């Protein structure tokens, strides 16, 4: 089962990298005085960090080594206000593919506990891709007046949600 645990440790790094990318996107929108977009991506950054910590806790609970890797610097400059959301959607699609690959490894190793652990992440990724797709559509339609995006975010629940009660525990969180 070492292959699944090794792959999960690699995913921890990808989740931290996603968190850093979302923080960079949030800072970009903050610098453009778009506070709703900034807050949305600050929350996304925290959510991705929590995903990494859920994986760390799973590894610890499994008696496996948990690695906290360094990550490459995120993209911090963008050609326009649409590019960061487009990048975020691409990132969510990649993470979905990563989770599917992890589940395939767990299944191939007959690690039913590992495969079951990933089920919450499947639902989470479906929601994330749908939410980011919607946000991209709104940003593309409103590119000439981003205050419409700000209004949209202020009145909708497209923002990152807290993990459901069924979410795996995160390392460092209360049990």
Between CA 156 and CA 60 the distance in angstroms is: 37
Find the distance separating the first CA and the last CA of the chain, reported in whole Å. 26
Q: Name which of 117, 122, 131 is nearest 22 in CA terms.
A: 131
Asked if 46 contacts 98 with a C-beta cutoff of 8 angstroms, the reply is: no
Q: Which CATH number among 3.90.550.10, 1.20.1260.10, 1.10.10.60, 1.10.10.10 corresponds to the domain 2-67+76-155?
A: 1.20.1260.10
| pLDDT attached to residue 160 | 47
Cβ atoms of 19 and 31 within 8 Å: the answer is no
pLDDT under 70: residue ranges of the chain? 1, 157-165, 174-175
In the DSSP assignment, the letter for residue 66 is -
pLDDT of residue 128: 95
Averaged pLDDT score across all residues of the chain: 92
Structure tokens at 4: 């699944």
pLDDT digits (tens, 9 = 90+) for 69-103: 999 999 999 999 999 999 999 999 999 999 999 99
The domain locations on the chain are 2-67+76-155
């Amino acid at each position: 089962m070492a292959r699944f645990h090794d792959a999960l440790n690699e995913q921890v790094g990808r989740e931290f990298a996603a968190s850093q990318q979302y923080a960079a996107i949030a800072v970009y929108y903050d610098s453009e005085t778009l506070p709703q977009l900034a807050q949305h991506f600050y929350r996304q950054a925290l959510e991705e960090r929590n995903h990494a910590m859920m994986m760390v806790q799973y590894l610890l609970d499994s008696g496996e080594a948990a690695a906290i890797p360094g990550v490459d610097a995120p993209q911090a400059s963008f050609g326009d206000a649409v590019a960061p959301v487009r990048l975020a959607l691409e990132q969510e699609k990649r993470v979905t593919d990563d989770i599917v690959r992890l589940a395939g490894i767990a299944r191939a190793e007959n690690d039913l506990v590992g495969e079951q652990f990933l089920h919450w992440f499947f639902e989470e990724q479906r929601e994330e891709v749908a939410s980011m797709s919607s946000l991209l559509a709104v940003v593309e339609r409103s590119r000439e007046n981003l205050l419409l995006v700000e209004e949209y975010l202020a009145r909708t629940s497209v923002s990152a949600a807290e993990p459901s009660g069924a979410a795996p525990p995160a390392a460092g969180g209360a049990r």
